[in-house]
Amino acid sequence: MKSAPLLPDELLSDQKRRRTALAATIIAIVAFSAALSFDWRLKMLAPNGPITLLLGVLVAVFIYLATWQQSVLFRPCPSCGKRTLKSGAFCSHCGRPMQ
Ligand SMILES: [Zn+2]
């Protein structure tokens, strides 16, 4: 938990780090479900493979949408760096007016 105000550079790298972590998570989930849906012994798609794959993709899409919604509704406050509602007139944490 950071309490000190973030510099613009730090905010940017924080967002970049978040995006990289999200991409890695989604790729890992899809790759894992693809590996599970394949029968490696018979070298063919497992009988319930398509369902496993579909579930993996759905989970990945859900995580992506949840994160996307966060970035659409919230933004980091330029003063305190905490995430606050984009539509709000003031930061809900430090009270700084948002333009
Ligand atoms: Zn603030």
Distance 81 CA to ligand 1 centre (A): 6
Res 44 pLDDT > 80: yes
Res 19 pLDDT > 90: no
Res 12 pLDDT > 80: no
Residue at 92 is within a domain: no
Q: What is the pLDDT of residue 4?
A: 62
Distance 70 CA to ligand 1 centre (A): 17
pTM: 0.66
Distance 24 CA to ligand 1 centre (A): 29
Specify the number of domains making up the chain. Answer: 1
- 45 phi and psi angles, rounded to 5 deg: -65, 130
Least confident stretch, 43-47, 50-54, 93-97: 43-47
Residue at 3 is within a domain: no
Residue at 96 is within a domain: no
Q: What is the pLDDT of residue 6?
A: 63
Residue at 99 is within a domain: no
Pairwise CA distance, residues 85 & 76, whole Å: 9
User: Which strand (E) or helix (H) includes residue 23?
Assistant: helix 8-37
Q: What is the pLDDT of residue 5?
A: 64
Q: What is the pLDDT of residue 31?
A: 95
State which residues form the domain around 63: 8-85
Mean pLDDT of 12-40: 89
Residue at 1 is within a domain: no
Joined together, the tokens standing for residue 28 give 């890992």
